[in-house]
Structure 1
Amino acid sequence: MKFVFVPITIAFVFLCSCKPSYEETEIPLDTYTLEEGFTLKVLASEPLLKAPVAMDFDDKGRMWVAQMPGYMNDMQGSAENDPVGSIRIIEDLDHDGIADHAKIFLDSLVMPRALAHVYGGLLYAEPPYLWFVEIKDDKPANPVLVDSLYAVEGNPEHQPNGLLLNVDNWIYNAKSNFRYRRKNGVWEKEPTTFRGQWGISKDNFGRLYYNDNSRILLGDYVLPNSLISNKYSVPSSSVDNLITSDQRVYPLHATSVNRGYAKGVLNQDSILINATAACSPLVYRGGTFSDSYDQNVFVCLPEGNLIKRTILNFQGDSITARHAWKDKEFLASTDEGFRPVSIKNAPDGSIYIVDMHRGMIGHHAYLSPYLKKKTSKTRLDTITDFGRILRVKREGTPNLPLPDFKTTNGKELISLLSSDIGWIRDRAQHHLIHRKTDELISEVKNYLLNSAHSWGPLHALYVLEDWNELSFEFLTEVIKKGHQNSMAHALVLSKMYVSEENKDLAKDILDYVLEKDDITLDIYLSSILGDWIKLDSTKFTESLLTVLNRHPENPIVLEALVSGLDGIESGFIDNLDLGEKEFFAFKESIQNAIANENNNKLNPIFSVKSLNEDNRTSGAKLFSQICASCHGINGQGIEGLAPPLINSEHVDRTERLALIMLHGLEGPIHVNGQEYDLNLAMPGLIRNEEISDKDIADLIAYVTNAFSPTPRTLKEKRINELRNIKSSSGTEFTEDELLQFDVEKK
Structure 2
Amino acid sequence: MRRNLLYGSWVVSAVLVALFVSACNESKNPSNDDDFVRVVVDTDPPVKPLSPEESMEKVQLPPGYHLELVASEPMIQEPVALTWDGNGRMFVAEMNTYMLDASGTGQYEPVSKIKLLEDTDGDGVMDKSTVYIDSLVLPRAILTIGDQLLVQETNVQHIWSYGDTDGDGVADTKKMVFRNDAVDSRNLEHQNGGLIWNMDNWIYPTRDNLRYKYKDGVLVADTLVDNMIGQWGITSDNYGRLFYSEAGPGLPAVQIQQMPAYGALNFIDQYTVDFTIPWPIIGNLDAQGGEKALRPEDNTLNRFTSGAGQSIFRGDRLPADMQGDYFIPEMVGRIIKRGKVLNKDGKIIIEDVYKEKDWLASADMNFRPLNTYTAPDGTMYIVDMYHGIIQESEWTGPDSYLGKVIAEKGLDKNKGMGRIYRVVHDDFERDTTKPNMLNESAAKLVTYLDHPNGWWRDNAQKQLIVLNDQSAVPDLKKIALGEQGGLKSKPSNLARIHALWTLEGMNAIDKGTLYSAMEDADPQVRKAAIWISEMYVKKNDAEVIDKLASLKNDTSADVRIQLFLTLRTNKTETAQQTVSELLAANPDNELMQVSYKTFLDKQRALEEELARVKNLSPEHRALVLKGATIYNQLCASCHGPKGRGITVAGSSDMPAPPLAGSPRLKGDKILTIQLLLSGLTGPVDGKEYADAMPSMAAQDDEWIAAVLSYVRNSGDLGNNASVVTPEEVKEVRAITGVPRGGMTLRTLEIMKLGRAENNNFIGK
The structure 1 residue matched to 2:360, chosen from 326, 331, 334, is: 331
The structure 2 residue matched to 1:71, chosen from 98, 107, 110, is: 98
* 1:243 aligned partner: 271
The structure 1 residue matched to 2:68, chosen from 36, 41, 57, is: 41
The structure 2 residue matched to 1:189, chosen from 221, 228, 238, is: 221
The structure 2 residue matched to 1:120, chosen from 147, 160, 185, is: 147
Amino acid at match of 1:486: V
- Contact preservation (8 Å) 2:335, 2:360: yes
Deviation track 1:209-234 (CA, whole Å, cap 9, x = no partner) reads 12122434224454524525xxxxxx
* 2:519 aligned partner: 480
> Aligned partners of 1:610 and 1:147: how far apart in 2?
20
* 1:526 aligned partner: 564
> Aligned partners of 2:737 and 2:497: how far apart in 1?
47
* 2:502 aligned partner: 463
Amino acid at match of 1:326: K
* 1:5 aligned partner: 48
* CA displacement at 1:319 relative to structure 2: 0.8
* 1:393 aligned partner: 424
Change (3 A) 1:51 1:505: closer
User: Between Structure 1 and Structure 2, whose CA radius of gyration is higher?
Assistant: 1
Change (3 A) 1:6 1:168: same
* 1:263 aligned partner: 292
* CA displacement at 1:480 relative to structure 2: 1.4
With the length of structure 1 as denominator, give the TM-score of the two structures. Answer: 0.73
* 1:447 aligned partner: 479
The structure 2 residue matched to 1:551, chosen from 579, 586, 589, is: 586
Asked whether 1:172 is paired with 2:204, we answer yes
* CA displacement at 1:552 relative to structure 2: 2.9
Change (3 A) 1:591 1:327: closer
- Contact preservation (8 Å) 1:658, 1:700: no
The structure 1 residue matched to 2:86, chosen from 54, 59, 71, is: 59
Change (3 A) 1:206 1:504: closer
Change (3 A) 1:120 1:697: farther
Change (3 A) 1:542 1:108: closer
Change (3 A) 1:397 1:593: same
* CA displacement at 1:376 relative to structure 2: 1.7
Question: What SS does the aligned partner of 1:179 have?
Answer: strand
Which consecutive unaligned segments of at least 5 residues does structure 2 have? 1-45, 483-489, 613-623, 636-669, 679-699, 706-724
Alignment RMSD, CA only?
A: 4.0
- Contact preservation (8 Å) 1:177, 1:605: no
* 2:650 aligned partner: none
Deviation track 1:562-597 (CA, whole Å, cap 9, x = no partner) reads 5xxxxxxxxxxxxxxxxxxxxxxx7x9758734643
* CA displacement at 1:360 relative to structure 2: 0.3
Change (3 A) 1:27 1:257: closer
Q: How does 1:11-26 map onto structure 2 within 5 Å?
A: none
Q: Which moved more, 1:149-158 or 1:206-215?
A: 149-158
* CA displacement at 1:543 relative to structure 2: 3.2
* CA displacement at 1:378 relative to structure 2: 1.0
- Contact preservation (8 Å) 2:112, 2:139: yes
* CA displacement at 1:204 relative to structure 2: 1.0
Asked whether 1:315 is paired with 2:344, we answer yes
Q: How does 1:416-427 map onto structure 2 within 5 Å?
A: 416-427=448-459
* CA displacement at 1:273 relative to structure 2: 1.0
- Contact preservation (8 Å) 1:53, 1:67: yes
Change (3 A) 1:123 1:263: same
Amino acid at match of 1:198: W
- Contact preservation (8 Å) 2:177, 2:217: no
Asked whether 1:361 is paired with 2:390, we answer yes
By relative contact order (CA 8 Å, sep 6+), the higher-ranking structure is: 2
* 1:206 aligned partner: 240
> Aligned partners of 2:508 and 2:312: how far apart in 1?
30
> Aligned partners of 1:296 and 1:165: how far apart in 2?
20
* 2:27 aligned partner: none
Question: What SS does the aligned partner of 1:83 have?
Answer: coil
Change (3 A) 1:402 1:367: same
* 2:603 aligned partner: 593
Q: How does 1:286-297 map onto structure 2 within 5 Å?
A: 286-297=315-326
- Contact preservation (8 Å) 1:84, 1:110: yes
> Aligned partners of 2:205 and 2:514: how far apart in 1?
29
* CA displacement at 1:612 relative to structure 2: 9.2
Question: What SS does the aligned partner of 1:41 have?
Answer: strand
> Aligned partners of 1:486 and 1:34: how far apart in 2?
36
* CA displacement at 1:260 relative to structure 2: 4.4
- Contact preservation (8 Å) 1:472, 1:502: no
> Aligned partners of 2:366 and 2:737: how far apart in 1?
27
Q: Which moved more, 1:719-728 or 1:241-250?
A: 719-728
> Aligned partners of 1:152 and 1:125: how far apart in 2?
12
- Contact preservation (8 Å) 1:209, 1:217: no
Asked whether 1:302 is paired with 2:331, we answer yes
Q: How does 1:495-574 map onto structure 2 within 5 Å?
A: 495-498=534-537, 502-504=541-543, 506-511=545-550, 513-530=551-568, 534-535=571-572, 537=573, 539=574, 542-552=577-587, 554-558=589-593
* 1:381 aligned partner: 412
* 2:689 aligned partner: none
> Aligned partners of 1:601 and 1:373: how far apart in 2?
50
* CA displacement at 1:283 relative to structure 2: 0.8
With the length of structure 2 as denominator, give the TM-score of the two structures. Answer: 0.71
Change (3 A) 1:465 1:257: same
Deviation track 1:626-680 (CA, whole Å, cap 9, x = no partner) reads xxxxxxxxxxxxxxxxxxxxxxxxxxxx969959x99xxxxxxxxxxxxxxxxxx
Aligned positions, number? 610
The structure 2 residue matched to 1:350, chosen from 365, 379, 383, is: 379
Which consecutive unaligned segments of at least 5 residues does structure 1 have? 9-24, 229-234, 563-585, 616-653, 663-684, 732-744
Change (3 A) 1:611 1:84: farther
* 2:180 aligned partner: 148
- Contact preservation (8 Å) 2:288, 2:401: yes
> Aligned partners of 2:583 and 2:365: how far apart in 1?
54
> Aligned partners of 2:246 and 2:323: how far apart in 1?
23
Amino acid at match of 1:546: E
Change (3 A) 1:118 1:595: closer
- Contact preservation (8 Å) 1:152, 1:612: no
> Aligned partners of 2:747 and 2:204: how far apart in 1?
34
* 2:304 aligned partner: 275
* CA displacement at 1:105 relative to structure 2: 0.7
* CA displacement at 1:410 relative to structure 2: 2.0
Amino acid at match of 1:84: V
Asked whether 1:111 is paired with 2:142, we answer no
Deviation track 1:309-354 (CA, whole Å, cap 9, x = no partner) reads 1111112321111111122221111111100111111101111111
> Aligned partners of 1:263 and 1:698: how far apart in 2?
33
* CA displacement at 1:147 relative to structure 2: 3.0
- Contact preservation (8 Å) 2:537, 2:544: no
Question: What SS does the aligned partner of 1:461 have?
Answer: helix
Change (3 A) 1:185 1:711: farther
- Contact preservation (8 Å) 1:655, 1:714: no
> Aligned partners of 1:605 and 1:285: how far apart in 2?
42
* 1:224 aligned partner: 259
- Percent identity (aligned): 26
